[in-house]
Amino acid sequence: MSEAVIKKARPKHLDLGKIKLPLPGFVSILHRVSGVALFIMLWLLLLLLDRSLGSAESFAQYKDIVANPLVKLILLGLLWAYLHHFCAGIRFLLLDLHKGIDLPTARMTAKAVLAVSLTLTLIIGAKLW
């Protein structure tokens, strides 16, 4: 074996601010983030469900909690997380079936996931606010 081994210069650290992530990669990361957010905030959603279905007093507590603008903003974010996770999940299922794996289609479906999830969030959020 030859002693001379060609070594590729590898970066010592990755500057995440300089890395340009393609749109499908961005959608993939948002899919993971939205799933984690939904899992972490599941306790809040279950608490609100419990308060809304318990009794008249607990329903009054539910209305007081949901009337808070900060809670409304959190619920709006969770609505987006759910819708984005759902739309991106459908996209990934189609990718698993080898549908839309060529680069132009993958970019188009990534744009569609962002557009659909944001549009649905605005429409449903406006009705619920």
- For the domain spanning 23-128, the CATH number is 1.20.1300.10
First to last CA, the chain: 71
Q: What are 84-98's pLDDT values in tens digits?
A: 999 999 999 999 999
pLDDT digits (tens, 9 = 90+) for 23-33: 999 999 999 99
Given a cut of 60, whether residue 1 has pLDDT beyond it is: no
Q: What is the pTM of this model?
A: 0.82
Instruction: Spell out a b/e string for 22-39, using b for 16 or more CB atoms within 10 Å of the CB, else e.
Output: eebeebbebbeebbebee
pLDDT for residue 118 is more than 90: yes
- Distance, in Å, from the CA atom of 6 to the CA atom of 26, rounded to the nearest integer, reads 34
Does 100 have pLDDT greater than 60? yes
Provide mean pLDDT across the span 41-67.
92
Identify the band that residue 4 occupies on the pLDDT scale cut at 50, 70 and 90.
low
Q: Residue range 11-27: average pLDDT?
A: 80
Two tokens, residue 11: 């970066």
Cα 28 from Cα 120, distance rounded (Å)? 19
Residue with tokens 């999830």: 117
